[in-house]
Amino acid sequence: MNKRSMRILGFYQVQNMLVRLAPSRLSKEIARRLRPVNDSEVIERNLTDTEEAVRCMQTETSTPFGGIVDIRPSLEKAKREVTLDSHECIDIWNNLQHYGEIRSFFADRGAEYPQLAEQADVIGDFSQLSHSFATVFDNNRQIRDNASPELMRLRSRIVELERQTKRYVNNVLQNKEYQKYFQDALVTVRNNRYVIPIKQEYRHAFPGIVHDTSASGSTLYVEPLAIVNANNDLQAARIGETKEIERIFRRLTAKVQQQYNDLYDSTKCVGQLEFAFAKAQLALKMKACRPAVSKTREIKLIQARHPLIDAKHVVPNTIVIGGDYRILLITGSNTGGKTVSMKTLGLLVLMHQAGLFIPVGESSELPVFRDVFSDIGDEQDISQNLSTFSSHMKQLIYILKHCGPDDLILADELGSGTDPAEGSAIAIAILDAFYQKGSYVMVTTHYNDLKNYAYNTPGIENGHVEFDMETLKPTYKLRIGSAGSSHAFSISERLGMPKDILEKAKDLRSKAQDMDMEKVLTQLNAQAKKMDEEQAELEYRLREARKLEDDLRKEKDKVTSKRQDIIDASRRDAVDLKRNLRVEAEKIIRELKAQSKEGTDREKAKAIDKARRAIQQISLPEAEKPQRDPIDLSKLKVGQQVFVNNLDSVGTVEDIGSKQLTVSVRGMTVRVKFKDVSAPYLDELKKEKQAEKKAAAASSYRPIRTSSVATELNIIGKTFSEALPEVERFLDQALAAGFSPVKIIHGKGSGALRRQIHAFLDDQPFVKKYQLDDVDGGGAGVTLVYF
């Protein structure tokens, strides 16, 4: 990728932001080496790393990164059999613990972050090596006394010798003969040997070896002759301890050397994973996302923001190049944002091809470019006698020689720095050459000839940056589809140009041939801006209407739910009311029986039965059920699944009669009318299938069905005592099968059998209610029983 473009467009500044976010020296090195590439597979892989890391940071409460040390120098020492010191061993041990945490983290989340988990598989299992370090160091990273049997023996001896030496010193300090020699009656250490502070004037009177003096020279630190041998023994033990620790470190170094390759690969892998999460941090900081790869090689950056401009001040712009045009010509006022728009495009392309997310809208697309060329800024070189125009031409000639159909070219102020007529001609010729090469181009200019060229040439589109004529300030908004004016007079006026000079300039400009074009451009741009504002207003109103629709839908659901709650509460109240009415009615009937002295027994019984029947026929509001699709009887066949309305279950048709169906429901057979079945829903069929599988998995035993369970019983012509066993058996089977309601056909006759059946039903706790069927179903000759 062109290094000059990377420098001009600001890629290295973005890279420095990434370096600062990288947590370790290793990941910082990777960030410093980051460069855009043009291999689409590599780009996709790098972007997927970033995407999974972003998702991980947004989903997981914590990630196992941080605290990693660059142990590569230590690994190289171990490879050369140079003994590692304590700090190097501890660094390796710390890394091994972190490696294990990272490895386990991604092993448990392979489905959520497959590409990162695949990379984490490279991390080796160093549990044995980590255990070896743990036997040497404790949790405070100090060498254990029991790191080896010899070290334990030596440290025990050192403790004993220190105790013995201190006892000898204390004996000297307590000797009354020496009291006047002591500067302080305390024990101190010099050169790893126990000494006593002696006054300078008694240096020859006190027998011992001088090891040090105080800063003032008034105190000598003397080792008494009486403890020289004890100090010698203690020093020898300490030297032995140092040698034993070196031997332990040589043993650890050898184990590290044996796993050098795995350790080195794991260290690099962890660095790459840390780098992926640094890219994720940068993406979240920029509120960036991953653009789609354009299959039509069209640049479509929605609401693109320059990542190096403060988010509080940056103006988002939509940049589209491709399709009907591959060259976008940007015009407009100075300091209006032309160059920023161009740099935004170039920098975002470089970031995308470096595997970084870019600050754009979700529906953005970018193709992969072979290279990005840029000619932006004044690069005149006095040492090489290059003027502004010459430096531009030198760079453009280089681009013309090296560009191709898969390249992006950014050129600022094309053809400027020389005679406008000649500059325009050269600029048009260069644009035509770029078009012939098939490159994607974005250029800025102030030349009207180039605006006309873009209007009249297929494959080239005009664009402009807005300028607010009321405030005389640019808005930094990019508009594609029309050219813009430079607004030199307005800007000069705002900057304080004298009015007489401006009036003279305007008068001269009004005589120019292309003045009419400037007026037309101004009018067109004003109209375009007004249309954009109207479109924005319409989009706002549409969003508000959709929001209102959602709110109304939610409110409707709440009202429906509340209405159902009210109906259910009313139903419960009605049941209680009916129960109380029934109790009161029976009380009245008993009183009528006791008090009535007139009329025959037949007339009294008839009045009582009429009152009871009126009470039983009190109806309760039923729960609302959704309207279901009816079954097409002409296409109904045996084996088809249907929904039995009364049973609220799915069943399978076993037989089709002239008026009824025989349906198998959960292993039981029932007979139902055609009107009592409807078409089942897809989710009901799925639930039924899952229930059958669950039942099959729970047990392989299935009882043999020996009889069918009916939904109606005919007892016409029988006495109550003859019918009672059949009624009891019928109700038990129906209740066990979950059928409700069922029919008892007792006929009309005198009504005696009906009354006795009703009296029996009153005493059954499992009967919710009963009532006479409608006229079509049998009227007073049939009782419907609900469980």
Spatial separation of the C-alpha atoms in residues 13 and 6, rounded to whole Å = 10
The answer to whether 409 touches 439, Cβ cutoff 8 Å, is yes
Ramachandran assignment for 417, one of left (phi > 0), alpha (psi -120 to 50 degrees), beta (any other): left
Query: Residues comprising the binding site?
Result: 332-339
Q: Which of 222, 217, 236, 159 is closest to 190 using CA atoms?
A: 222
Strands (E), 163-257: 188-190, 193-199, 208-213, 219-224
Peptide bond into 725 cis (omega under 30): no
362 class by beta-carbon count within 10 Å (0-12 exposed, 13-18 middle, 19+ buried): exposed
- The string of DSSP letters for 44-84 reads HHHHHHHHHHHHHHHHSS--S-S-----HHHHHHHHTTPPP
Strand partners, 651: 642
The conformation of residue 227, written as its DSSP 8-state character, comes to: G
Spatial separation of the C-alpha atoms in residues 13 and 27, rounded to whole Å = 17
> Cα dihedral sign for 735, 740, 746, 752?
positive
Spatial separation of the C-alpha atoms in residues 300 and 99, rounded to whole Å = 41
Query: Residues comprising the binding site for ATP?
Result: 332-339
The answer to whether 270 touches 123, Cβ cutoff 8 Å, is yes
The answer to whether 84 touches 74, Cβ cutoff 8 Å, is yes
Token pair 């019983």: residue:
713
* Coil/strand/helix, residue 254: helix
The answer to whether 119 touches 265, Cβ cutoff 8 Å, is no
Strand partners, 744: 713, 783
Spatial separation of the C-alpha atoms in residues 278 and 354, rounded to whole Å = 13
The answer to whether 8 touches 374, Cβ cutoff 8 Å, is yes
Spatial separation of the C-alpha atoms in residues 131 and 100, rounded to whole Å = 12
Q: Which of 613, 614, 559 is closest to 758 using CA atoms?
A: 613
Token pair 């291999």: residue:
39
The answer to whether 688 touches 650, Cβ cutoff 8 Å, is yes
Spatial separation of the C-alpha atoms in residues 102 and 104, rounded to whole Å = 5
Q: Where are the alpha helices (DSSP H) in 420-514?
A: 420-437, 448-456, 488-494, 499-510
> Cα dihedral sign for 533, 534, 539, 542?
positive
Read off the tokens for 156.
Answer: 């025990």
The conformation of residue 514, written as its DSSP 8-state character, comes to: T
Read off the tokens for 84.
Answer: 């590692």
- The string of DSSP letters for 522-570 reads HHHHHHHHHHHHHHHHHHHHHHHHHHHHHHHHHHHHHHHHHHHHHHHHH
How far is residue 773 from each of residues 426, 745, 770, 778, 779, measured CA to CA in Å? 99, 10, 9, 6, 5
> Does an H or E element contain 682, and which?
helix 682-698
Spatial separation of the C-alpha atoms in residues 230 and 166, rounded to whole Å = 9
Spatial separation of the C-alpha atoms in residues 705 and 729, rounded to whole Å = 17
Spatial separation of the C-alpha atoms in residues 476 and 50, rounded to whole Å = 31
